[in-house]
Structure 1
Amino acid sequence: MEYLLQVKIGALFGLLLLTLLFGFIPARVRWFRDTNGTDTHRTVLSLISCFAGGVFLAACLLDILPDYLSDISAELAARQVETSFPVPEFILAAGFFTVLILEKLVLHCQERRAPASEREPLLHGHENGHGHTHGRVEAVGPELEGSGHHVHVDLQAHSPFRSFMLFLSLSLHSVFEGLAIGLQNTDAKVLQICIAILVHKSIIVFSLSVKLVQSGLHAGWVAAYLGVFALMSPLGIALGIGVMESHLDSGALVQAVLEGLAAGTFVYITFLEILPHELNSPGRQLLKVLFLLLGFCIMAALTFVG
């Protein structure tokens, strides 16, 4: 077996094991799953979630979108496609609206199946100013308690459906990352890309695991999601190795289109689920923004170094 192939196989198993390690820390440690702890405990969990939001924002703006736009532009140029219509942006929007339509269809079907009594608000505005989020009661700031003001809480924040779409978009992107490793023709380039992916993927899978745990999914489903997600980059590497060994040069356009749909999905999840949920919940707003910025800056620094 040639040395380059050995390096790629080593990268495959390294990505698999490290992703599983960092992914199962929030999933298996009870501290992350406990929602009935002290105020300090809930605050720390909220700040970790804000940090994860910053990570996903950076992944969206600095990683997924630039990769997609670069790949689709190169593919259109290679095929000599010239049009004034913004094709890359349209594909991105298609991914965005696909998730939006699917989510609203799911919610519509749930509402039609639910009895009338289940459609009633579980907690009303006069009950101590508390809101309801997936069966958990979260106290708002003392300045809102008993004030009689209507407190808006996103009842679908961290829903299992949105968690699944987050998992799906990140998984597709992981396949393309692995593909980039598998298609390299020098061992130095393989190691360079692999190290960059190992570092930022460890942070992303940790953040993904936090979001899955917060969505209230059963532990078995969280483990299944993380297991499948861990396999995505190795799958991409294996596909890249297969393409290199068989000397095929097709499917690049399909890959670019799928990457665009995944990017549109990630835009939706980042800006309509993760960030609004973290920033609209009351209390410690400046600290939340600080941790959001911290997550973004760490990913930006890794992108700059990589």
Structure 2
Amino acid sequence: MDQLLDVKVGCLVALLFLTLICGFAPLFLNWFMKNRITGTYEFIIYLISSFAAGIFLGACLLHVVADALTDISTELSFIDYPMGLLILSLGFFFVLFIERVVLQISMRCRRSNQDGVPRTSTPRSPDANISEKSEPSSEITMPPEDLHIHVHTDTNSLSSFRSLILFCSLSIHSVFEGLAIGLQPKYVSALQIAIAVLIHKGIIVFSLSLKLIQSMTTPVWLSIYIVIFSLMSPIGIMIGILVTLNKTSVVTLVQAILEGISSGTFVYVTFLEILPAELNSRKRPLLRLFFIVIGFTIMAVIAIWA
């Protein structure tokens, strides 16, 4: 148990410092400033992102979901119903509900801002109306991948409010990701999930920090967002550790239920956020798929010792 606790605490510290380093890196490296971004930078980010998607897919299918279903079926074996899948679905729909609420608030605030802007009327000729109707809309001609709504990367035209709700949504994800680590009964499995979360969080916080810098977000607000986001996974790990310290029948049942809910968030993040962002892209699709397979293969090999 001591070795397991040491590993979880190590994962907590690693998650905290890696997120802080990746989040603050664009502030101190000139190569990542707006006027210095090149095609090489974008290419590297594509490959790292695809590799992380494969890591998350492997951790989700080969460990998180499998262990959660096994533990729940053991604790609730007296119920003749697939309770594991039901609890997993509750975690899935919980995160889905939170993100839909975030998007709804964002859309309403955008409409309120647009309605509050005074509009000036200018004389227009009939030919102007005809020309405007015949002119194609820029929204229609956007590439399909630009129309994809993705909470992790929806950072275009960021206002302070949209930045806040974006980081709140990401923080909720991070708590459950940390919870999945803190609830693990074996140190190898905790390390396996920690690797996936480390890579994923590093890429996400780095990309968002870069976008915030390009959107002229002040360093003070950027620092606040990154620090809050960095604390969420460690908080989740601490909650998981506290739950597993007192092994009673009730605590074991609660642990299995929480593990099922957190596995549902993993399913959501993997299949509705990470993978669609990679597979829907038209830039080097085969190369992206190759790196997804590499990431999945690595997690499959690690699962041999789990």
Do they fold alike, i.e. is TM over 0.5? Answer: yes
Counterpart position of 2:32: 34
Aligned match for 1:208, one of 192, 201, 204: 201
**Cα drift, residue 62 of structure 1:** 1.1
Counterpart position of 1:47: 47
What amino acid is the match of 1:288? R
**What do residues 143-167 of structure 1 show as CA deviations (whole Å, max 9, x unaligned)?**
xxxxxxx665314341425533431
Aligned residues of 2:12 and 2:237 also touching (Cα < 8 A): yes
Counterpart position of 2:175: 168
Aligned residues of 2:76 and 2:83 also touching (Cα < 8 A): no
Distance 1:39 1:72 in 2: 47
Counterpart position of 2:148: 154
Unaligned runs of 5+ in 1: 132-149, 181-192
Aligned residues: 257
Distance 1:97 1:230, change over 3 A: closer
Counterpart position of 2:56: 56
Q: Which moved more, 1:99-108 or 1:219-228?
A: 219-228
Distance 1:298 1:57, change over 3 A: same
**What do residues 59-89 of structure 1 show as CA deviations (whole Å, max 9, x unaligned)?**
1111110111011000012xx22x2x32221
Counterpart position of 1:229: 233
Distance 1:163 1:237, change over 3 A: closer
Aligned-residue CA RMSD (Å): 3.1
Aligned residues of 2:172 and 2:232 also touching (Cα < 8 A): no
**Cα drift, residue 205 of structure 1:** 1.2
Counterpart position of 2:70: 70
Distance 1:50 1:220 in 2: 28
Counterpart position of 1:103: 99
Establish whether residue 124 from structure 1 lines up as the match of residue 120 from structure 2. no
**Cα drift, residue 118 of structure 1:** 4.8
Distance 2:174 2:302 in 1: 22
**Cα drift, residue 9 of structure 1:** 5.6
Distance 2:4 2:57 in 1: 29
Secondary structure of the corresponding residue to residue 156 of structure 1 = coil
What amino acid is the match of 1:225? F
What amino acid is the match of 1:88? G
Secondary structure of the corresponding residue to residue 68 of structure 1 = helix
Query: Normalising by the residue count of structure 2, what TM-score does the alignment of the two structures yield?
Result: 0.71
What amino acid is the match of 1:229? S
- Give aligned-pair identity as a percent: 29
**What do residues 140-197 of structure 1 show as CA deviations (whole Å, max 9, x unaligned)?**
xxxxxxxxxx6653143414255334313312212212xx2xxxxxxxxxxxx43553
Secondary structure of the corresponding residue to residue 114 of structure 1 = helix
**Cα drift, residue 116 of structure 1:** 6.6
Higher helix share: 2
Distance 1:21 1:304, change over 3 A: farther
Distance 1:10 1:263 in 2: 23
Q: Which moved more, 1:26-35 or 1:67-76?
A: 26-35
Unaligned runs of 5+ in 2: 116-136, 155-165, 213-221
Aligned residues of 1:16 and 1:230 also touching (Cα < 8 A): yes
Distance 1:292 1:172, change over 3 A: same
